[in-house]
Homo-oligomer: A and B are copies of this chain.
Amino acid sequence: MNLPAPLPLPVLLLETGGHQLEVAETLISVGEFVVIFIAARALAELMVRIQLPTILGELLAGVLVGVSGLHLIVPPDTQAQLSGMATGLLSSLADVSPEVLSDLYRDSFPSLQAVSQIGLFALLFLTGLESELDELVAVGAQATTVALTGVVLPFALGTAGLYYLFDVPLIPAIFAGAAMTATSIGITASVFGELKFLKTREGQTVIGAAVLDDILGIVILAVVVSLAGGEGFSLGPIVRLVAAAGVFVAAALFLSRTAAPAFDWVLDQLKAPGEAAVASFLVLTLCCFAAQAIGLEAALGAFAAGLILSASRHAHAIDAAVKPLVALFATIFFVLIGTGMDLSVLNPFDPANREGLIVAAFLLTVAILGKVAAGWSYVSKQKTNRLVVGLGMMPRGEVGLIFLGLGTQAGLLTKPLEAAILLMVIGTTFLAPILLRLVLRGTSGGPDLDPLAEVPT
């Protein structure tokens, strides 16, 4: 999280009544929520109706109300000004000067970011919680080759391309490469589900590989962000962090088999209301603290906490308690990513943007080809629709956005690179459902495509 610049607030406080400041603060905070939720919901509903992922709507909502649009939500680090209309309305309602209002706005932004961070952690926790480790084991070998190819190819091609072809410094190049490794389970699963393809062998393999991708991607992310903060690029810290991340995830996988019964026992003893929400939030925060304390990203801890509790008997109740948090606060996270995006750097009519646009096109191409190629790494003697597997791995969705958001927070990325990654995430998330529908509708149902065929477990 970026720290706000210090404000001369005592001076303002002397000039403005304390009560007016409080009124203005409340109007700002509540008003931000109103703007975010109206925009996000309107565009999410639009996306659902044209059969595209809702996450695209939330992102576009952010672009619409943010620095590339109406200037209703402007992250302070972008130096953009709040819309004059909004400033005018709020300052007249609260009876404070527009200057005081701007300062209060800047000062209250960290609170909004803190709430969005809770949404991010809740989403990663939910992703871990809904990981079907047993299904992963069932499609094991095939999913592993697909996942590894789908991580290694985009990561290697993306990083090397940026570093050697476009002279991007090593750390941002690695970070952008890492952002391309993700696969959004949610988006693929919903398209497969809609087309009754989820229970096929290909469907199960893609889901299994997507879970593995999440684990690999978050480990890479944790290592990159931790390295980026620190001491330059030497082998020692890398080995140490990769080892720490590996041990951390292994411990989480191990605990999901062994600690879940203990958690269930504790939960059964709890009698005060809200026990599922509080107990799982406590596991979540403890894992975040542990991850951060050994030098990894807290986000990895949130995901690990979900993995640990995925084997709980109470997973369903936990899921129900976490979903409203995700619906409310992860939305804020995605909208905030959109608000900070300066899309003018992608304006093709400005010659200064040409290189940025070429980088964006390069990333998008690598992101598509890398995952489609992963489909051909599928090892199977049966007739397999490898294109469907590859396309299924393609959408980066929320996972790609989480990477982007963390990179922006850590100050790793230039504006053009940020916009290029955003375009890559939007492009793959947008194209995957469309291409999958085209390919699947053109397929005649072989035995593997029977929607009712059960996967051996």
Contact of A91 with B by CB under 8 A: no
Chain B neighbourhood of A115, CB < 8 A: 111, 114-115, 118
In this complex, the interface size class of chain A, counting residues with CB under 8 Å from chain B, is: 35 or more
Chain B neighbourhood of A281, CB < 8 A: 33, 37, 328
Query: Would you list 20 pairs from A and B whose C-beta atoms are within 8 A, ordered by A residue?
Result: A3-B13, A3-B21, A6-B9, A6-B10, A22-B409, A26-B288, A29-B114, A29-B117, A30-B289, A31-B289, A34-B289, A41-B279, A41-B282, A47-B272, A273-B327, A274-B331, A277-B327, A277-B328, A321-B323, A324-B325
A324 touching B327 in the complex, CB below 8 Å, given contacts A230-B19, A271-B48, A289-B30 = no
Contact of A260 with B by CB under 8 A: no
**Beyond A18-B411, A37-B285, A45-B269, 13 additional pairs, beta carbon < 8 A:** A1-B22, A19-B230, A26-B292, A27-B293, A30-B292, A34-B289, A37-B282, A45-B272, A54-B272, A54-B273, A108-B110, A114-B114, A115-B115
A147-168 contacts to B, CB under 8 A, are none
Shortest distance in angstroms between A420's beta carbon and chain B's nearest beta carbon? 23
Contact of A85 with B by CB under 8 A: no
Shortest distance in angstroms between A145's beta carbon and chain B's nearest beta carbon? 32
Contact of A139 with B by CB under 8 A: no
Structural contact, A17 and B229, CB atoms closer than 8 A: yes
A231 nearest CB neighbor, chain B only: B17
A288 nearest CB neighbor, chain B only: B30
Shortest distance in angstroms between A286's beta carbon and chain B's nearest beta carbon? 6
Shortest distance in angstroms between A58's beta carbon and chain B's nearest beta carbon? 9
A36-71 contacts to B, CB under 8 A, are 37-38, 40-41, 44-45, 47-49, 54, 57
Structural contact, B278 and A328, CB atoms closer than 8 A: yes
A80-116 contacts to B, CB under 8 A, are 93, 107-108, 110-115
- Bound Cα distance from A324 to B320, whole angstroms: 9
Shortest distance in angstroms between A313's beta carbon and chain B's nearest beta carbon? 18
- Bound Cα distance from A396 to B159, whole angstroms: 61
Chain B neighbourhood of A31, CB < 8 A: 289
- Bound Cα distance from A295 to B27, whole angstroms: 11
- The 5 closest A-B CB pairs, nearest first, are A19-B229, A274-B327, A111-B114, A44-B272, A6-B6
Contact of A247 with B by CB under 8 A: no
Structural contact, B45 and A270, CB atoms closer than 8 A: yes
Shortest distance in angstroms between A178's beta carbon and chain B's nearest beta carbon? 17
Shortest distance in angstroms between A292's beta carbon and chain B's nearest beta carbon? 5
Contact of A136 with B by CB under 8 A: no
Interface string of A356-373 (1 = CB under 8 A from B): 000000000000000000
Structural contact, B41 and A107, CB atoms closer than 8 A: no
- Bound Cα distance from A307 to B325, whole angstroms: 22
A1 nearest CB neighbor, chain B only: B25
Chain B neighbourhood of A328, CB < 8 A: 274, 277-278, 281, 325
A121 nearest CB neighbor, chain B only: B30
Structural contact, A49 and B285, CB atoms closer than 8 A: no
A282 touching B19 in the complex, CB below 8 Å, given contacts A48-B272, A289-B31 = no
Chain B neighbourhood of A410, CB < 8 A: 19, 22
Structural contact, B114 and A274, CB atoms closer than 8 A: no
Contact of A352 with B by CB under 8 A: no
Contact of A278 among B37, B118, B320 (CB under 8 A): B37
- Bound Cα distance from A48 to B275, whole angstroms: 12
